[in-house]
Amino acid sequence: DQQVKQNSPSLSVQEGRISILNCDYTNSMFDYFLWYKKYPAEGPTFLISISSIKDKNEDGRFTVFLNKSAKHLSLHIVPSQPGDSAVYFCAASARNAGNMLTFGGGTRLMVKP
């Protein structure tokens, strides 16, 4: 049973527009959520995170929104740049589970010039 799901395997966006990547989870014990960016043959790079006590966290062009009642989070990138093209993974953890990360399946973002 997948506890963290990214239902869109890919997303294509025009440069300068907004990219919205979505993630759903089922485990109500998750209290910390993260987004990572990954290029092929490299490890994931941490982008932004949010604690369950917040519903929004912003860092430059990246904003993460958390809707606890819907068990949904999203990553907004605006404006999108060609260098943002990569695979984006959302991940979740629970303090009572040793902060172990559970990853979604990833969404491949392609930003077209």
Partner 1 sequence: GAVVSQHPSRVICKSGTSVKIECRSLDFQATTMFWYRQFPKQSLMLMATSNEGSKATYEQGVEKDKFLINHASLTLSTLTVTSAHPEDSSFYICSAKTPYSNQPQHFGDGTRLSIL
Binding site for partner 1 (CB under 8 A): 31-32, 34, 36, 41-46, 49, 51, 89, 95, 98-106
- As measured in angstroms, the least distance from the Cβ of 67 to partner 1 is 19
- As measured in angstroms, the least distance from the Cβ of 79 to partner 1 is 23
Distance CA 90, CA 44 (A): 11
Nearer to partner 1, 23 or 111 (CB): 23
Distance CA 30, CA 56 (A): 16
Main-chain phi, psi angles of 40, to 5 degrees? -55, 140
Main-chain phi, psi angles of 83, to 5 degrees? -70, -10
- As measured in angstroms, the least distance from the Cβ of 17 to partner 1 is 26
